[in-house]
Amino acid sequence: MASSPHLIEVALPLPLRQTFTYASDAPVAPGHRVVVPVRNKRVVGICVGPSDGVALAEVTPKGVLAIPDAEPALPADLLATCRWIADYHVVSLGLVCRAALPVALGQAGTPAPRGRTERVLVLEGTLPTLQSREAAFRRAPQQRQAYELLESLGGRASVPHLLRQLGCTSAVVDGLVRKGFARIESATVFRDPFAAREGERARPAVAALRPTSAQQAAIDAIVAGEPGAAFLLHGITGSGKTLVYLEVLEQVVRVEGRSAIVLVPEIALTPQTVERFRARFGDLVAVLHSGLSDGERLDAWRALRRGEKRIAVGARSAIFAPLPDLGAIIVDEEHEASYKQAEAPRYHAREVALIHAREAGARCVLGSATPSLESWRNAQEGRLSLLSLPARVGGGALPAVRVVDLRQELKVSLPDERARRQVLSAPLEAAIRDHVARGEQVILLLNRRGYAPFVQCAEGHVAVCPHCSISLTYHRTPERLVCHYCQHQEAAGRTCADCGGAMERQRGLGTQQVERLLAERFPTARIARMDADTTSGKWAHAEILERVGRGEVDVLLGTQMIAKGLDFASVTLVGVIDADVGLHLPDFRASERIFQLLSQVAGRAGRGPKGGEVVIQTRTPGHHAVRHAATHDFLRFAAEELSNRESPPYPPTLRLANLIVSGLDEVLVATFAGAVARWCVAAEARFALGVTVLGPAPCPVDRIKTRWRWHVILKSEKVAPLTRLLRGLADGLEVPAAGGLRLAIDRDPVALL
């Protein structure tokens, strides 16, 4: 008699906040991938547990088509974390689970994708004497070389590697096989994206460093932490947070035999940090980030799942690394906005790290010289244990900072100098000249790429993007106008659409313009520019930074990407071309972001024995973000900024959700945004949740990629009432089909633009 089918609940990658019941002939453990039919298609879902069948009523469940894997793709702790993300961010569990898996594992057409394979030559038999080898290879000296090389490699090596080493053709290998001295096997190859770059540079010798007393105290506290314990490691720039991470991993991975996740803001921007982990732990490290090919990512994921690699280093998505027996999660530069996912599921990797560590019984360390105010408040209130590194390693001092008021600088400049002084004030230009003359290196920050932010005709009209509510940025090399939101491009120098006049006046500064001026003022200096235009290649970031490390660059000019993770002893001057970029955006985090950026880039100076200095150019020297960055005083900045967010209240004083309505028709978007606001107001009136509803209103950037955007902001002092309202909204308000309307729920937004 046939046994009854097993009913299971499956999370599907659909925008529906529910699971679906399927029948399986065999038991299926939670976390397993399953291939199931959905509307005549094969879809990969995740089994999230058994089903009681109540939701079926009289409907016969469809059967599971395949169970591709021998073990769950999502371990129990990771599946529980995915459930939390789905519940908190009010999003489909299936979409969260899909985000947690490599792309290749979500394709139903290839439910069990294979890794890349290559031919491997394996030694068979022995030729122990010189006479036997002479007899076997009398007329085939290359075969003898191949045989002896294979023997020296332990009797097994990849065929491509042998051919490269010998400089011969595959006929040599085929001859060995025909004579019975070797055989060909097929082996799965781990695609390491860093392998091609190994050996190009010496890895940093971090193992020889000894922790300072402050570092050792932090290490001891973290190692002694209870399962699920969470720490905020606040260390000034250059205080050695990375060494603390390394020593903690040494204990967790090598002593305790467990595994770990290390998150960095962007792999490409922090190659020195990544290399330190690889230098210390070698083949135990797998690197995960969006720049990998699907095959490279799948190989790394599988190696981590099998326990062959025990440390996952990567950007935000690495928080989903399927490591068995997770012992630690480290979030470096935890304040970075890049940890926030921009599309659904809109999770923040820092918050997910805390939940994942709790579910896995792992310690969680959040590290930064300029912590987010959310983390700082959590440390003040005891939800995070605060650890401090108050001094630089080796006793070095933080660099002295000089603030130059550009308003005064332009007043004392001659008329023909004013345009140049807007870029380089006299103090900054003199400092660059002095440091370069001494053979030292300079970093210059301008957080705006292109040549000029906009172009203008004689009548004052500005060239704007036809798809976005934003001006087109003028790029000089190659010459074009570009939208930095949708990447629309058009020829520069076109006539004005409003008056027919020529668009000939460039306004404002971009990195291309500063680079040109630097080349004119310092013709012998070697200048490198690092922004999104010069770093589009896979290894472009690393190659530029390696040139800096080799001393082949005198002045490194860049956007915010140069403020992260760089440690060059020869950098003795940091200059900020315009500290006001982004300071006055209509966003409550604008001051916090500018303080963090200025503090972080200032910390790149003076890391060597020569010391360093910083010059910050600004038109608002009295702004508290600039004042406190100039004195490296995070504590006073945090106190003043937290006070500013008390009235009107903004995070971390309360919780925030941004409801973004977008569509192709402006009127329909505005109308539906009004319906969203009315629904929220009615729910608040009915249930007295304590949620404040603001809006609807157009977003500050009200059109992006042809889609109009309005938003409604929800504020609440407590988590649960806001969650209740958001779930009711997602389930109870239908989005009209007309006009391509969408409703996005962005909980704990990092920006309101």
DSSP class per residue in 390-456:
-S-GGGPPPPEEEEEEHHHHHHTS-GGGHHHHHHS-HHHHHHHHHHHHTT-EEEEE-S--SSBSEEE
Which fold, 400-448+511-644?
Rossmann fold (3.40.50)
Identify the CA nearest to 228 among candidates 385, 31, 387.
385
Reduced to 3 states (helix: H, G, I; strand: E, B; else coil), residue 133 is helix
Q: Do domains 196-395 and 655-747 have the same CATH topology?
A: no
CB 703 within 8 A of CB 468: yes
CB 465 within 8 A of CB 471: yes
Instruction: Report the relative pairing of strands 6-11 and 20-24 from DSSP bridges.
Output: antiparallel
* Grouped pLDDT means (10 residues each) for the chain, 753 residues: 76 92 92 93 94 78 90 95 97 95 78 62 79 80 82 76 78 84 74 53 54 95 96 94 95 96 81 82 85 79 91 93 96 95 94 97 97 97 96 87 89 61 87 94 92 82 89 84 89 73 74 90 91 75 85 92 84 94 90 95 89 94 96 96 94 96 96 97 94 95 95 96 96 91 95 89
Helix (H) or strand (E) holding 251: none
DSSP state string for 298-339: HHHHHHHHHTS--EEEESGGGGG---SSEEEEEEETTT-GGG
CB 181 within 8 A of CB 128: no
Helix (H) or strand (E) holding 658: strand 655-663
pLDDT score at 572: 94
CB 308 within 8 A of CB 115: no
Burial state string for 91-114 with b = 16 or more CB within 10 A and e = fewer than 16: bbbbbbbbbbbbebbbebeebebe
Per-domain residue ranges of the chain? 6-106, 117-188, 196-395, 400-448+511-644, 453-507, 655-747
Reduced to 3 states (helix: H, G, I; strand: E, B; else coil), residue 615 is strand
CB 409 within 8 A of CB 499: no
pLDDT score at 203: 45
DSSP class of residue 490? E
Confirm or reject CATH 2.60.120.620 for domain 6-106, answering yes or no.
Answer: no
Instruction: Report the relative pairing of strands 117-123 and 182-188 from DSSP bridges.
Output: antiparallel
DSSP class of residue 8? E
CB 62 within 8 A of CB 42: no
Q: How far apart are CA 375 and CA 314, in angstroms?
A: 21
pLDDT score at 109: 57
pLDDT score at 273: 78
pLDDT score at 416: 57
pTM score of the predicted model: 0.87
CATH architecture of 196-395: 3-Layer(aba) Sandwich (3.40)
pLDDT score at 22: 93
Q: How far apart are CA 272 and CA 294, in angstroms?
A: 24
CATH number of 655-747: 3.40.630.40, 3.30.70.600, 1.10.3720.10, 3.40.50.2300? 3.30.70.600
With both helix axes pointing from N to C terminus, report the angle between 141-152 and 170-178 in degrees, rounded to the nearest 10.
80
